[in-house]
Structure 1
Amino acid sequence: MTALSAASARRNAPVLTASELARLREKARFVRLETIRLIEIAKVGHYSSVFSAAEIFAALYYDVMSLRHGEPDWPDRDRFLMGKGHAAVGLFPILAEYRYISKETLDGYTRLGNPLGDHPDMRKVPGVDFSSGSIGHALSAGAGMALGGKLSGREFSVFVMLGDGEMQEGQVWEAATFAAHHKLSRLVAIVDRNGFQLDGAVDDVMGIEPLADKWRAFGWETHEVDGHNLPELTALLRQVKEDTERQTPVCIVARTLKGKGVSYMETEPGWHLGYLDPADAERAIAEIKNREI
């Protein structure tokens, strides 16, 4: 899909109402605040990797995906897989809101015997569709789920969130080839293009651009979007999910800012993994509560 036709598709997608936008912004804020609270329990965690994806989490779980509260194993649910499994601390509060895990389990994050760890485990945590953290595998698993749904006549969608550093993994591109070949039109890859990975700037470690053109060359319908612009992001995701005529998988390159929402994290890549002392935590919480993204 060309940039012009992609923009046209977004214009024709349902527009967020003012109340829907306010709700999604509040949910993105909730993800950020809960991430700070839970990492305070663990004493170390991945703040900035969650913050770049907070609007993506909000749009998917509170608007786009077909899910049922209290039924994590509903056969026709949409699936969600995380290549960047280190951002799971931002997902767990959402699973608690969906009643897939208890509030007590959430509040015991990373404690001895608790199923919630730094990465998601599908064997232990209801609502987690794939155990991730070993970068590069999620798209392959998502393609398998999408193919299984297609062969069984089910109409669920499969969303896979990938880190941009993950684009350096060969298995991602094998899965991309497989998905295009099998016309897995209900498979949606979302690349969190925040520009940084553990070892530094993605394009310094190993350049991945022109990223959108690469996905198109692999046979995927490809869009680029501001990953923090909820009206634009949600409209695009709605359009992608509701398109029943498409014959190809979809990739959305979401341009984001690592640490988005906390100014001193937005300018310091070292917050990929860390811990906030009380003064910094207080400053971060105040900024998240008072800043409109």
Structure 2
Amino acid sequence: MKKFTDLELQIKSVEYRLALLKYIKIAKAGHTGGSLSCTDILNVLYNDVLDVTPESFGDKNRNRYIQSKGHSVEALYVVLADKGFYPESDLETLCKGGSKYVGHPTRKIPGIEFNTGALGHGLPISAGIALAAKKDEADYKVFTLLGDGELAEGSNWEAAQMAAHYKLDNLVAILDHNALQITGTNREVNSPYPIDEKFRAFGWHVVEVDGNNITELRKTFQAVPEVKGKPTFVIANTVKGKGVSFMENEKKWHHGVPSDEQYELAMKELNGELERLSAIKVGE
């Protein structure tokens, strides 16, 4: 797998954000805020950790990634396109009649392991896959990305108990903790806090990280498993709508399509950041 510098991955994150907004605009539908918040996580997983390619995707010993917060599929789609699983131009059909690129991940899309989007399913699926790896004496790891509002689903806690019981240290659950869901803050809707103490009580090793910081994410994911015999729960503190000032920390952008004026402003901000980072790279 090609090794990228932190700066190169920062540039990729901006490019991914530009692309996902483009296709949300074309589709006239999309979970904008959550896709923007988890972009850096997916970037680091696919470009620094998983080592999954179109050529290796059928290998039994490949690392697995399950996107439990399936509604933020736009970020996943652009990353998989960048990794060569399909032409990016395919995403021009996003959410259009007859297209396989629908609003949640499906196995019809190259590079996607499981259909997801019914919240609370990703962690149980991932725990089962990790247990199968243990029984097969395989050494692959399983990563899954959860939304923080998703913790209201009881199936997560059943899976958390099971994963600790079977000492699944090959399992990494990542929480996209942007603290907002469609109707308000997590605390207002159905508080999951204290998240860290709850998962520790269930027997997990818990790590807290800036989920929009490439350097911190790389260090965290590469260290797994830090504790032998325990699954890892990564609380990735993110900003909903990250990268676009008027979308950041705004619940109304959980699902939303920018107007022409808003889209132009978002493109201006992101392209400005891209130019800034590119200038730093040129000067290195």
TM-based fold match above 0.5? yes
Q: Which residue, 238, 249, 255 being the options, matches 1:256?
A: 238
Aligned equivalent of 2:164 = 180
Q: Is the 8 A contact 1:70 1:98 kept in 2?
A: no
Letter in 1 for 2:229: Q
Matches within 5 A, 1:102-181: 102-122=87-107, 124-181=108-165
Aligned equivalent of 2:208 = 224
Structure 1 position 270 matched with structure 2 position 255: no
The superposition leaves residues 81-108 of structure 1 with CA deviations (integer Å, 9 ceiling, x where unpaired) of: 1121011111112212222223342332
The 2-side partners of 1:103 and 1:259 are apart by 22
The 2-side partners of 1:268 and 1:184 are apart by 36
Q: Is the 8 A contact 2:239 2:249 kept in 1?
A: no
Instruction: Quote the offset at 1:76 in angstroms.
Output: 1.7
What is the aligned-residue identity percentage? 37
The superposition leaves residues 233-261 of structure 1 with CA deviations (integer Å, 9 ceiling, x where unpaired) of: 211111115x5x61110000011111111
Structure 1 position 285 matched with structure 2 position 270: no
Unmatched 5+ residue regions in structure 1?
A: 1-16
Q: Is the 8 A contact 1:110 1:118 kept in 2?
A: yes
Instruction: Quote the offset at 1:72 in angstroms.
Output: 2.6
Provide the secondary structure at the position in 2 that maps to 1:90.
helix
Structure 1 position 45 matched with structure 2 position 30: yes
The 2-side partners of 1:200 and 1:227 are apart by 20
- TM-score, normalization by structure 1: 0.89
Instruction: Quote the offset at 1:267 in angstroms.
Output: 4.0
The 2-side partners of 1:268 and 1:67 are apart by 34
Q: Is the 8 A contact 1:71 1:100 kept in 2?
A: no
Aligned residues: 273
Q: Is the 8 A contact 2:17 2:39 kept in 1?
A: yes
Provide the secondary structure at the position in 2 that maps to 1:209.
coil
Q: Is the 8 A contact 2:183 2:251 kept in 1?
A: no
Instruction: Quote the offset at 1:53 in angstroms.
Output: 0.7
Distance 1:26 1:117, change over 3 A: same
The 1-side partners of 2:184 and 2:204 are apart by 28
Q: Is the 8 A contact 2:27 2:92 kept in 1?
A: no
Instruction: Quote the offset at 1:276 in angstroms.
Output: 0.9
Instruction: Quote the offset at 1:135 in angstroms.
Output: 0.6
- TM-score, normalization by structure 2: 0.91
RMSD over equivalenced CA pairs, Å: 1.7
Aligned equivalent of 1:238 = 222
The 1-side partners of 2:89 and 2:148 are apart by 33
Instruction: Quote the offset at 1:23 in angstroms.
Output: 1.4
Letter in 1 for 2:167: K
Q: Which residue, 99, 108, 118 being the options, matches 2:84?
A: 99
The 1-side partners of 2:13 and 2:111 are apart by 19
Unmatched 5+ residue regions in structure 2?
A: 278-284
Q: Is the 8 A contact 2:53 2:85 kept in 1?
A: no
Q: Which residue, 50, 71, 81 being the options, matches 1:86?
A: 71
The 2-side partners of 1:105 and 1:267 are apart by 30
Letter in 1 for 2:211: G
The 1-side partners of 2:101 and 2:213 are apart by 30
